[in-house]
Structure 1
Amino acid sequence: MPRVPTRQIVEAARMSGYGVAAFNVITLEHAEAVVSGAETAGVPVILQVSENAVAYHGGQVLPLAAAAAAIADVAGVDVSLHLDHVEDQQLLHLAAAAGFSSVMYDASKLDFADNVAATREAARWGHAHGLYVEAELGAVGGKGGAHTPGVRTDPGEAAQFVGDTEVDALAVAVGSSHAMTERTAALDFDLIAAIGEAVSVPLVLHGSSGVADADLRRAVRSGIVKVNIGTILNVAFTDAVRQSLGDPSLVDPRKYLAPARAGVADVVAHLAAVVSRPA
């Protein structure tokens, strides 16, 4: 089936009281694995390409976006494309033409007033070009100083931020942290509920690789709708490659990329089901 807009997937999840998993894509194998895992789980999924992934590919967004779009277009479940953690204005302005239906504009390094101003401008541009726009407030941990561990999103500020910027979704700092390789994050579920009551848009949990299954389910029940997952896929991918390369005679990359892709697909199938069935 053809890919669908992120707005459609997120709003359907929100109306039904369940979550949707959004998985970060770095390589073609990642994209194939994410869609395969979502098909196994039988649930919609969001393919995310981050600004960091674009930088890895020489600053060129179109090749990876085109590959992800081609995979999404033949998927057996609803799939959307999302451009994640964008700070660069030029990249933002390529989003729609590259096939993305949504973008997360990240001005969270700035103070509140400047974050509002920059995000409002990005949201206006995005809406004028048909994009669903996500932003971040509260500095989710795990990014070397710009995102400070221990910081939490204030519900009152969240309401003001959403009202002033007119964003479509809000990523909040509630205890998770980017790039965690162990699932030990402690979420503040009361804070999630309070922010959800204060704002009118879906809430997004970043850094979800570090959150245990039971807490992911509880986060969705508390008000999280979109759940971003990346690092845990890379852990599975790398573990599989390491195991394969224990054979010194192996030289064909297909021999170690295939099990890596399969390992990622297994993780995606599991987590997509966890997020979409929170009861």
Structure 2
Amino acid sequence: MQLLDGKALSAKIEKTVADEVKILKSKTGSVPGLAVILVGQDPASAAYVSMKKKACDRVGFYSVTHEMPEDISQDAIEKTITMMNDNPNIDGILIQLPLPSQIDTTKILELVNPSKDVDGFHPYNVGRLTTGLEGFVPCTPLGVMELLDEYNIDVKGKNCVVVGASNIVGKPMASLLLNANATVEICHIFTDDLKRHTLNADMIFVGAGVINLIKDDMVKDGAVIIDIGINRADNGKLVGDVDFEKVSKKCSYITPVPGGVGPMTIAMLLSNTLKAAQAHADERE
């Protein structure tokens, strides 16, 4: 069994991004700019935003966080997004999800300019991903594909089971795998007999938010396990959706939690924002 080390690869990607930022700055005088909207006091969301801010600082991005109260109005968020769409110093706009119940999340995501949609959630970019065209891809599944590529793990022709069908992870993960010529099956909360599906899988990608959902008797020998889940156990420890201790004895490759997919998500956010900045710089020339 070999660990897929997202921490090491993300550091490598950060170094590349930082070098590209210096080149962009010397050519255009500007650096990539990322704006984040954070609503409310959710500790997990605040922690993610803090990590993203630190990553931006490390690679030389300009970044700004718009912190808004839990009871913010739809109109107030929309005005902020419109302002950021019009701001030439902002190349990427990130809406930290989830948003409070009074906010129409779909409308908010659709308001972001697709050329600044570095999270890949706008229907324009979702459509381009589904049809195999160039665009912004959600950071977590994109990070998974980078990790597989780093370890020369080819998905072509492999039986891949994606557990979880969210718009943020499961669906785009399935699209990326399909685009890379894998045979893809999506399982979710209404799937009957999950084990029957996972036992046939060459590769399992799980992001369901359920501790120990994937057990060793659900995995065939030599399978590749990508654990996208992140949960806090009763003892306060961060764990994934896979029973790591037992499953790791059967599989060929596995991502640890933490240190696997998590760091790759932030690395891909930096990569997407750099890509947006480079495209915007080309347009201005």
Q: Same fold (TM over 0.5)?
A: no
Larger Rg: 2
What TM-score does the superposition give when structure 1 sets the normalisation length?
Answer: 0.31
